[in-house]
Amino acid sequence: MGSPPDTSKTSKLERYNSYLRRLNSAKLISASSKLLFRFTLLATILLIVLLTLHYPVPFLSHSSHPSSSSSFTSPHRSLLSSSLPLESIRRSATPSRSNGLSVLVTGAAGFVGTHCSLALNKRGDGVLGLDNFNSHLYDPSLKRHRQSLLASHSILVLDADINDSRLLSLLFASFPFSHVLHLAAQAGVRYAAKNPHSYIHSNVAGLVTLFESAAKAADPQPAIVWASSSSVYGLNKNSPFSESHTTDRPASLYAATKKAGEAIAHTYNHIYGLSITGLRFFTVYGPMGRPDMAYFFFTKAILAGKPITIFRSPDGKDVARDFTYIDDVVKGCLGALDTAKPSTGRPGGGPKTGPAQLRIYNLGNTSPVPVAKLVSILEKLLGTKAKKNIITMPSNGDVPFTHANVSLAAKDFGYRPTTNLSSGLSKFVNWYVNYYGIKLKTSTGATEAA
């Protein structure tokens, strides 16, 4: 019988091959780990860079505040220059006239904000604007158009939100604004049913953030003029609406947030000595207006041959509004700014040196006009009959009429509205057809360029 085969060489070969496989596997794992580590490190660095570019302000420190100064110089220059256009901000905010105001305008790319910024700039005041360009009520392209118009007058509008407390504190600590015109807000009565939290975010939380920053970061504290609303009168039956009337029955969430804002203003005035003036606007209209307003979307629908809905009150009466032309409202805003007294608070939110000014005013036209009359004026201006759908007003927050008593504003800063609805709508229609490139029909049926 032959001897058994020698398998020792085969076993050694198999063990060697197994060793090579383990070695190669270890090298592969090691290489993969190194590659994964490098990729993770690169991704982390890229993420940090992107966050820094997109959210620059929160990474800045602002532990100390500059002392009061009459010029636009700041120890925060090195901090701000890395993330904010410091020189552009300074140029925009510095008044060109002697004793001119330096005004921080929130909601500067909005309807009222744009017109007020232009008026302030025209008379030599410094203006720096803030706006978050949201799309809640209408396409923000119109806001960008307004921003471009302001830029052509050397007015800078920063793309920022009023709830950004770090940015507001840096601006107040770095630039001695004499005044704030706070117009940023979530407007509109009916939209509140769709997005109620946006009203709390802008009209309550945003207002508190602004007051906090102005009270505790600014030295000296600025005087503040802010936009309340005629909506605070709610279910009030007394007419015309007067500042002395009760406003504890708001008919909409929007009205409730503005009423809350007036109470918050009282608190910051009482505790921190902020000089605060609230303005109750009554249905402001005019060129570059808001597309969500009735006069604007009525114009669009009439020109497109689409039906419009006109409300009547539950008792069958015409719904009426105290339509106020934008130029009159701008005069009221500037009058409130010019008569605002200095705040009395101490730097850092310390005890106030004495009572501070606290005011509230109506800014209206004093002549309510039925909405049906507004439609008839538009029909004549557009040369087209409207397709009307008349229904009873739903219970969605709207009120049947508004009527402003402006005697207090007239007495304190000479507010006197001068534009009637026909004249104001004519100016609006001229702007509308030019902005959208529309040709109107003449009385003979031909078309003509506006």
**Helices 165-174/206-216 angle, 10° precision:** 30
> Pick from 105, 103, 61: which is nearest to 80 by CA?
61
Token pair belonging to 198: 């946006």
Give dist(CA 379, CA 440) in Å, integer.
11
**How distant is the alpha carbon of residue 237 from its chain centre?**
31
Q: Which of the following is catalytic: 199, 254, 268, 361? A: 254
- Positive or negative torsion for Cα 261, 267, 269, 274: negative
Whether residue 254 lies in the annotated active site: yes
Which residues contact residue 385 at a Cβ distance below 8 angstroms, ignoring those fewer than 6 apart? 302, 379
Active site residue ranges: 254
